[in-house]
Chain A
């Protein structure tokens, strides 16, 4: 038993991540039919495609295999609890999955602060009624390739009498020459910087995992955990994959038989819409009030510059290699900023010991087009009320994807304790200024207090609106390839 990822070829590609290598993604949400055997038959046609995202011995080999299969890039599959139960898996095994996964994201709305306009009743289909059984995530090199695969998959589903209940087309977007700054053109991110819709570099601080090398820097553990000697170390694989030792040297309790979980994990998928207009308007108004630049204020709320550099170390070569030990009061990076809340690093007591068990691998991707400054988001990504299952809902936002082994201890903890509550970071009941669920009925807590170097020394930004809304999502089990094969074949667990 090890705390390091070993059987690389058994793990779905999403765990490793793609970044800019396959920037065009297709997410298809499928509902199974009533016949488990028929559903499994469908799954049996996919392993060939799934197989191509094991660690390739060479890029050439991978390319060759992809050619043969007609799929351009990594292909991933995950199931909701409802989906697993429609595959004929024995109730005893189903019942051994953790309760929050069994309940699904809709029933966990209170924990995740999905209320008001983010409440499950106002989610988009297919999420509103929780009808999704399976998520298929295909990643492509080009937009055209994604289009081809979309057709191919639709046809393939059709031959099994199945159809997609909905789909999304997220992609990595770069700032390019689209101006995303508000009042300071020098804040425009580098053209090649991948950004989210508020115009900030995103997905920078993924934790390094033992045995799962960071692309291009296999020995770099910055942003992981801090050991007794004060050095960065990668996190144990058991925080993200079943069947491995975790950060306290235990094997996390897994569904039984443990084989079904081994090398598998949970995918938290959330469709989060971003209100770019409201964000820019609020930040501009507040900046004026406090005598700061709007881009500066926005950066302080986020905790990073638009280029993705941390405010505590703006000239850092590695944007993930920084600590808060010189900024205990939050002078450089406010204690309540999004960055500090979602990964406090050494802001809490005992180095990172109180943080390491609440980390996630984030695999999110934006959807919609970047809204240039001076334009309204409705012009760029118009909302079309006539949408149905055949086309994705418009607008802009983030397909939030996070991988963790204990949804409750990792995703839900961060969401409920750090994003929508502030006690650990001494922010009282204040919420995350960027992604917090700012309930208009609890205005008092919708604020951030920041120490600044302006004349007043302190800026209180009150009554922050909710810039981000949950539009849907669910908890998925992302099985290993061997477990997938066994489930598809109807052996071992049936």
Chain B
């Protein structure tokens, strides 16, 4: 299909979204990511039964923490699609890209950059 989507998204492959931990999400922000979204299989279609539900809970947990520390909970999101839905993958990529552009860069990057200068 070769559908194009923004190059600003870095894909981290995991065997199942159930592998994604709240710490992985937080570390991504700590290292300067402007947003993180987790794309799992459709709910009810998890090969490991509960992996994508677990991921959703962890995304919610990360959202709460990011909100509490002033980074912004909207920077993290969970999406679900089936593996053959490339157009939808691109749609979600665009949606997330748009959302993050509206929110602006990760606020911790600015103090970090100032310190380095």
Partners in one complex: no
A contact residues vs B (CB 8 Å cutoff): none
B contact residues vs A (CB 8 Å cutoff): none
